[in-house]
Each structure stands twice: as C-alpha cells, then as structure tokens.
A and B are shown apart, each in its own frame.
Chain A
Amino acid sequence: MWYYEKKTQYPVRIRKPDPRMAINILTQYGGPNGELAASLRYLSQRFSMPTKETKAILNDIGTEELAHLEMIGSMVHQLMDKVSPQELEKLHVDTMYAVHGRAVFPSDSNGVPFTAAYIESMEDPIANLNEDLAAEQKARATYEYLLKMTDDPDVIDPLRFLREREVVHYQRFGEALRIVQETMGKKKFY
C-alpha cells in the first residue's frame, strides 16, 4: 500500500502565470504519454512480472510516476492560478475554462479526457517491457516539445527534471527486459 508525503519530488515554484503553457503541459497529466497513463501502466503490469527485480522496478517506477503526476498537476495549477476569464479568452484558452474552470482535469491539451485505452497490460512480460520502453521514449519526446514552447526558467527547470527521469526509466526498463529474457532463457521458454 501507499502513504502520502507532503512534498513534491522536485520543487515546483512558478511565479508567472501562463495559461497557454498550462494547457500544453496538461497533456502530461491526462494525455496518451502522460504520467497518469505511465503510473497505471506499470502498476498494472507489475502483477505479471516474473522475477523479484522486475516486480520491484515496475512497482517503484509506477510509484514515482504518481509523484510526477503531482508535479505536473502543480505546474498546471500554478500556471492557471488566478488568471481572469477575460485573459483566458484573449489567449484563446477559454474553451477549457468553459468546461472545467481553472481546475486540473485529466485530459490531453485538446481536452480529450484520459482513457485506459492509452495503456496495455498483458501476461507476457516481454510485451509489457517493450511497451514501457516505447512509453518512456514518447514521454521524453513530449517533454522535449514542451521545453521548446517556453522560456520561463521556473517552467523549464521541473520539465527538464521530468525529462531526465524518463531517460533513467528507459534505462531501467532496458535492464528489466534483459533480466526477464535471461530468466526465461534458463527456464527454456520461447
């Protein structure tokens, strides 16, 4: 089970609101390559992992992704906080306001709500880990896009941190895949 700690994994302190950037970043909350999808994917797949190391890594990365979800939610909230509806209208992000106000809702940047169709969980751990490698690369690519769309250091700093975590996750999943392949090789599974 889980216990909550009253802190983010890395500091999120954005001084200047930027509603357009909030909506752009929102896709990492509830979009196809976002942190919610990542967490649900790994925490569901962990039940099918065949070795202790791979159970641990899926469990622990799935848990870290929840912390990333919280960071992204905090960023969206801070970027939207107290911006007037008139301002939102001027910036053409008022359609989000019409549906959710300035709340944080799990959708992509186009307002498409989160769906579990973004993820897969199969009994085959090789299939799962290959999906996870792709997912981490897609998340990294998304952070690269987001980094190109802002020059606010308060926003760039946590985005860079999150991008680097995707690189580390990719590395660990590569190792997990190797562990599973070696174990299965020994057991003569094909």
Chain B
Amino acid sequence: MDERTNLLEQIMAYDFVLYDLQLFLDTHPSDGNALRDYKMALEQSENLRRQYQAKYGPLTTRYLPNTTCWQWVNDPWPWNKEA
C-alpha cells in the first residue's frame, strides 16, 4: 500500500468511528462517555486530514491548496482503481 492510501485509510477508520458514534449519540445525546470518545476521534481525524490535504490535495472543496489550479478535479476519484 502506498503512503497516500495508507494515510487515507487511517482517516477513513477515524471517520467511521465518528459516524458510528454520531448515530449512537443521536439516540443518546447525554451520554458523556460517547461524547468524550467522539472528541478524541475528531482530533485524530482532523490532524490526519490536515497532513493528508497538505500533501495530496483536497478531500473536500473547503480545503483550498495554495496553487493556481483547482485541484479538486484531480484523479484519482474514490471509485477509480489506482493506476
């Protein structure tokens, strides 16, 4: 696995934890333990996301790299097999 994919899959793992906790918190909005876990995973995800985007370009259009080209369109898109 290349470095990009490796970093991306770490983000995906934290983001999945976040989403699963989100669903739990939707039906248990006052569960302090779940909220604490959410906060921890969120910090990890944001930290990795910062690293990833600086190196490999945007995951969302709200990250704008300091370049003259709109990098959002760049391959690979998630449904593409890596070349």
Question: Which chain A residues have a beta carbon within 8 Å of chain B's beta carbons?
Answer: 1, 46-47, 52-53, 55-56, 59
B74 within 8 A of A: yes
Contact check, B73 vs A52: say whether CB atoms are below 8 A apart.
yes
Among A1, A47, A53, which residue has its beta carbon within 8 angstroms of that of B73? A53
A-B pairs with beta carbons under 8 A, tally: 16
Contact check, A52 vs B79: say whether CB atoms are below 8 A apart.
no
A1: min CB distance to chain B, Å: 8
Please give 13 more A-B residue pairs, beta carbons under 8 A apart, in addition to A46-B77, A55-B73, A56-B72: A1-B78, A46-B79, A47-B79, A52-B73, A52-B74, A52-B75, A52-B77, A53-B73, A55-B75, A55-B77, A56-B73, A56-B77, A59-B77
Q: A187 to B15, alpha carbons, bound, how many Å?
A: 40
Question: Which chain B residues have a beta carbon within 8 Å of chain A's beta carbons?
Answer: 72-75, 77-79
A47 — which chain B residues lie within 8 A by C-beta? Answer: 79
16 A-B residue contacts at CB 8 Å? A1-B78, A46-B77, A46-B79, A47-B79, A52-B73, A52-B74, A52-B75, A52-B77, A53-B73, A55-B73, A55-B75, A55-B77, A56-B72, A56-B73, A56-B77, A59-B77
Q: A56 to B72, alpha carbons, bound, how many Å?
A: 8
Q: A47 to B79, alpha carbons, bound, how many Å?
A: 7
Q: A56 to B75, alpha carbons, bound, how many Å?
A: 9
A53 — which chain B residues lie within 8 A by C-beta? Answer: 73
Nearest first, the 10 A-B pairs at minimum CB distance are: A56-B73, A52-B73, A55-B77, A52-B75, A53-B73, A47-B79, A52-B74, A56-B72, A59-B77, A55-B73
Q: A52 to B78, alpha carbons, bound, how many Å?
A: 12
A56 — which chain B residues lie within 8 A by C-beta? Answer: 72-73, 77
B77 — which chain A residues lie within 8 A by C-beta? Answer: 46, 52, 55-56, 59
A46 — which chain B residues lie within 8 A by C-beta? Answer: 77, 79
Which residue of chain A is the closest to B72 with respect to CB atoms? Answer: A56
A62: min CB distance to chain B, Å: 12
B75 — which chain A residues lie within 8 A by C-beta? Answer: 52, 55
Q: A47 to B81, alpha carbons, bound, how many Å?
A: 11
Which residue of chain A is the closest to B59 with respect to CB atoms? Answer: A1
